[in-house]
Amino acid sequence: MVQSFYDSVLEQIDDTAQRIHLNSGLHQVIRNPERQLTVSIPIEQDDGQIHVFTGYRVQHSSARGPCKGGIRYHPNTNLDEVKALATLMTLKCAVANVPFGGAKGGIQCDPTQLSKKEMQRLTKRYAAMILPIIGSRADIPAPDVNTNAETMGWIMDAVSMYEGKTVLDIVTGKPLELGGSLGRREATGRGVMINAMEIFKKKKLDPKKATITIQGFGNVGSIGADLLQKQGCRITAISDVSCALYNPQGLDISAIVKYLNTSGRPPLLKEYPIKKNDESISNSELLGLDSTMLIPAALENQITTDNADSIKAKIIVEGANGPVTKKADGILTERGIDVVPDILANSGGVIVSYFEWVQGIQSFFWDIHEVNENLKRIMLKSFNDVWSIAKKECISFREAAFILALKKIARAVELRGIFP
Ligand code: NAD
């Protein structure tokens, strides 16, 4: 049976706590989310019927600062998944050293079955129902799977209506016209690119000779692909929920992105008119392709004990959260495959979300150069912090990142003292 996402995260925390001889009380604090809220969200559908959806908001830790984390809309979203994602957010913020704790939210729904008006009503009602626990100094949501800048604009409006004033710093990932930050939409993909280029450098691999396969072609996957192709890498395969495309000579990523940006909503790869030399393959074939680097950028639990042995890529950079289970990670490490873990590789989004929050508080906005330079500086520092621990202790990058994070979170809890 595939290890559950949440069990996988907890097992990694337990292993790390043991390795660093973490005080058992502090270990318990880090293992358990501070607060979990489940809401039943009624909305009036376009046909006049009422439908009730289930939504969640989990705040894992506020030890290092306000909680921060995205909101996901997906048919499989459940409380355990949201707890796992909230926990990873706490660890991610600690690795990047941004002054936030972790949170996550989600609604169990199928966005493809909802009209835009229904999505807007669902989002605003959800925002109102989690309002008692979110806030610009308490818990700041952001986009995740199937949510975007527009969704964040709706949340900002709902909260602003309740408060009777415009509240800019309640969400990040907002549209630019509503106080969003330049570079936020691209930030996670850009961060993935920075990590990929840095590990090529460390391993003395020429990016221009590298082949890269990418699972998931949404915000993270498509922007990561585009930026890596601009660095001279060959993107030989991509996939989304509808299909996978393969071309050993390299796919024309700019053309595919351009096509999807102008097609209907949600844009699907299967609608792209396949070019000569491009080939349609299955998603499982994509994961097993021989390439220099594999970037899983879709959902959790994609590489498990069932397929870890068939992975042929030399390096994995986790664009998604939790794409490799803890047990599969052990197999990959034994096989000498380097995995740049999610809590390091996809932290670009939360780093630029931090910039957006700071800009919103100050109502003073940075240019794109300032955003991207600060993102690069912070990402390279965290990459090198993790790299040094991994090399010194002869452990995997994931183990090193977890050590870095757990030590920082435990120290914050210790310094604050347990209340009361
Ligand atoms: P998105 O909704 O924009 O894109 C998700 C993509 O994955 C889509 O192309 C979808 O078709 C594809 N997909 C879904 N199921 C698939 C499957 N079984 N096989 C292949 N492709 C599949 O979401 P996103 O924002 O790009 O997020 C992707 C991952 O990155 C998630 O794990 C998310 O938590 C993580 N992440 C996102 C951000 C961010 O800023 N958006 C930040 C950090 C981490």
pLDDT in tens, 226-237: 999 999 999 999
d(CA 150, CA 156): 10
Return the pLDDT at 274. 87
pLDDT score for 198: 98
Among this protein's residues, is 202 annotated catalytic? no
**Does ligand 1 lie within 6 Å of residue 220's CB atom?**
yes
Question: Stretch 363-379: mean pLDDT, rounded?
Answer: 97
Q: How far apart are CA 56 and CA 289, in angstroms?
A: 37
The pLDDT assigned to 172 comes to: 98
Distance 3 CA to ligand 1 centre (A): 20
Which tokens in the block code for residue 116?
A: 């835009």
Give pLDDT, residue 265: 63
pLDDT for the residue numbered 282: 95
pLDDT tens column, 11-48: 999 999 999 999 999 999 999 999 999 999 999 999 99
Question: Could you tell me the two tokens for 84?
Answer: 């796992």
Rounded to the nearest integer, the mean pLDDT of the chain is: 96
* Range 372-384 average pLDDT: 98
Q: Is 359 in the pocket of ligand 1 (CB under 6 A)?
A: no
For residue 3, pLDDT over 90 is answered with no
Ligand 1 atom 29, closest CA:
320
pLDDT tens digits, one per residue of 82-138: 999 999 999 999 999 999 999 999 999 999 999 999 999 999 999 999 999 999 999
Structure confidence by residue, pLDDT tens digits, 396-413: 999 999 999 999 999 999
The mean per-residue pLDDT over the stretch 347-368 comes to 97
Q: Has residue 301 got a pLDDT over 70?
A: yes
CA–CA separation, 311 vs 323, rounded Å? 13
pLDDT at 2: 76
Q: How far is the CA of 388 from the centre of ligand 1 (A)?
A: 29
Decide whether any atom of ligand 1 lies within 6 Å of the 298 Cβ. yes
Q: Per-residue pLDDT averaged across 317-325, rounded?
A: 97
What are the pLDDT digits (tens) for 248-274? 999 999 999 999 988 766 678 998 988
- Expressed in angstroms and rounded, the spacing between residue 319 Cα and the centre of ligand 1 is 8
Q: Which residues pair with 205 in a beta bridge?
A: none
Q: Which of 83, 104, 124, 174 is catalytic?
A: 104
User: From CA 332, how far away is CA 285, in angstroms rounded?
Assistant: 18
pLDDT digits (tens, 9 = 90+) for 131-185: 999 999 999 999 999 999 999 999 999 999 999 999 999 999 999 999 999 999 9
340 vs 323: CA distance, rounded Å:
11
225 CB neighbour count, 10 Å cutoff: 29
Q: What is the pLDDT of residues 60-89, one digit of tens each?
A: 999 999 999 999 999 999 999 999 999 999
Q: Is the peptide bond before 420 cis (omega within 30 degrees of 0)?
A: yes
Taking alpha carbons only, the member of 166, 129, 106, 156 closest to residue 43 is 129
